[in-house]
A = this chain, B = another copy of it.
Amino acid sequence: MKEFNDLTEKQLASREVFAGKIMNVLVDDIELPDGHTATREYISHCGAVCVVPVTEDGKVVMERQYRYPIRRVVREIPAGKLDGRNEDHLEAAKRELKEETGITADNWHSLGRYVPAPAYSEEDIDMYLATGLHYGEQKLDDEEFLCVYEEPIESLVEDILAGRISDGKTQIAILKAYKILKGTL
């Protein structure tokens, strides 16, 4: 078995191989822990946020959204990218919740951080629980189509544990929110 105390891979060079509208792809030359060189391909990403908005009667405000890469409609919690690397995560969560659902919330609670694909993406997602909800008007981007609806948190937890919800951030954020609200799962 190979044993190295320091697993760090050192950047030697970096080049952008694709610059798109929602993603840029980088290929870096790196030095491995054993001194050999290799390349690493990955997506640069400014970070994202997601929110579990819970109503007073224990329902989660959810979205149905078509996710083109996996070619199906996904049940997921409100989420979105930061406006830039310097946007405050909590402010971004408030902005995304308002844009996608029209909702503002009195109480915000951190659910920790979630790294979706550390093998090939810089992205991290800060997760929040929002309660004390006030309803307002949705303001979607032109190319954004989604249906907002509500679902009891108990049935969502049941669906997550039974494997009926696939989206990663939705699984983990709802399980953590439920554990905080109810004390057990």
Query: What are the residues of chain B within 8 A of A122 when measuring CB–CB?
Result: 69-70
Query: Is there contact, CB below 8 Å, between A147 and B70?
Result: no
Give me the interface of A with B, judged by CB distance under 8 Å: 1-4, 7-9, 17-18, 20-23, 25, 27-28, 30, 32-34, 36, 38-43, 64-70, 73-74, 76, 110-124, 138, 140, 142-143, 145-148, 161-163, 166-169, 171-172, 175-176, 179, 184-185
Question: Which residue of chain B lies nearest to A114 when distances are taken between CB atoms in the complex?
Answer: B168
Among B76, B117, B142, point to the contact of A123 (Cβ < 8 A).
B117
Query: Is there contact, CB below 8 Å, between A162 and B112?
Result: yes
Query: What are the residues of chain B within 8 A of A169 when measuring CB–CB?
Result: 168
Question: Which residue of chain B lies nearest to A10 when distances are taken between CB atoms in the complex?
Answer: B68
Query: Is there contact, CB below 8 Å, between B27 and A115?
Result: no
Query: What are the residues of chain B within 8 A of A124 when measuring CB–CB?
Result: 70, 166
A57 to B173, CA, bound (A): 29
- Count the copies: 2
Question: Which residue of chain B lies nearest to A121 when distances are taken between CB atoms in the complex?
Answer: B69
Query: What are the residues of chain B within 8 A of A176 when measuring CB–CB?
Result: 161
Query: What are the residues of chain B within 8 A of A66 when measuring CB–CB?
Result: 7-9, 33
Query: What are the residues of chain B within 8 A of A4 when measuring CB–CB?
Result: 145, 147
A-B contact pairs, 30 of them (CB 8 A): A1-B148, A2-B140, A3-B147, A4-B147, A7-B66, A7-B147, A9-B68, A18-B18, A20-B41, A23-B120, A32-B145, A33-B145, A34-B145, A40-B68, A42-B69, A43-B43, A67-B118, A69-B119, A69-B120, A113-B166, A115-B166, A115-B168, A117-B123, A117-B168, A121-B121, A161-B176, A168-B168, A172-B175, A179-B185, A184-B185
